[in-house]
Amino acid sequence: MIEDLKRFTVDVTSALAFGEDPNTLEKERDVIQDHLSLMLPMLMSRLNAPFAYWHYVKFARDRRFERTMTEIHRYVCALMSRARAPA
């Protein structure tokens, strides 16, 4: 049920903000869902870290997080471009 709520949140947020429904509820696994599932735990981990070690040392999970953030950024930029395009 938690996964369905996450997908629903992505669908509603995308529809309201960008006028586009990615239909993640109908898809079993979507690329953006995979990236979001990696992003949120890592953000919490970094918020609770005693210092910003990732500025000095990059572990495999930090590099994976950077790739994930790049893909999420691309996805959101593409949504914004389509939303700005004249109809």
pLDDT at 37: 80
Residue 4, pLDDT above cutoff 80: no
pLDDT digit string, tens, across residues 11-51: 788 788 777 777 777 776 666 777 888 888 999 999 999 99
Contact 35, 72 (CB under 8 A): yes
Count of structural domains within the chain? 1
Residue 1, pLDDT above cutoff 70: no
Q: How far apart are CA 50 and CA 52, in angstroms?
A: 7
Residue 43's domain comprises: 2-84
Question: Would you put residue 19 in left (φ > 0), alpha (ψ -120 to 50) or beta?
Answer: left
CA 14 to chain centre: 12
pLDDT at 52: 95
